[in-house]
Amino acid sequence: MLEGLGYKVRAETSSIKALKLFSAAPEKYDLVITGMTLPKMAGDEFSRELIRIRPDIPIILCTGYSETITEQRVKQIGIKAFLMKPVNMNKMAKTIRKLLDIP
């Protein structure tokens, strides 16, 4: 979906590997999209680590129903956008543009 919108995408299924890649070159990333349910590290914990490394990184957290994470909680962590699944291309595209177009 994102490549179809013209974005260059680096996708990882391992939160640990993604965190290592980000840590090695945080300036290479304009935006991170993550889920809440990840192997070995929850999406909120993963996001906290990214923000610790680079406080200005825009993060979109996508999740289905969750009792543990709310939009208010996401904002407290520093995550810039919260999308409930299923996410359609239009909603994702608008959210990405909103975050990337902020000066």
CATH assignment of the domain containing 64: 3.40.50.2300
Residue numbers of the domain that contains 64: 15-100
pTM of the model: 0.91
Q: Is residue 3 part of a domain?
A: no
> Could you read off the pLDDT of 45-74 as tens digits, one per residue?
999 999 999 999 999 999 887 777 878 888
- Residues 83-103 as b/e (b if ≥16 CB within 10 A, e otherwise) read beeeeeeeebbebbeebeeee
> Could you read off the pLDDT of 23-50 as tens digits, one per residue?
999 999 999 999 988 888 989 999 999 9
Q: Is residue 77 part of a domain?
A: yes
Q: Is residue 4 part of a domain?
A: no
Work out how many domains the chain is built from and give that number. Answer: 1
Q: Which three-class secondary structure state does DSSP give residue 34?
A: strand
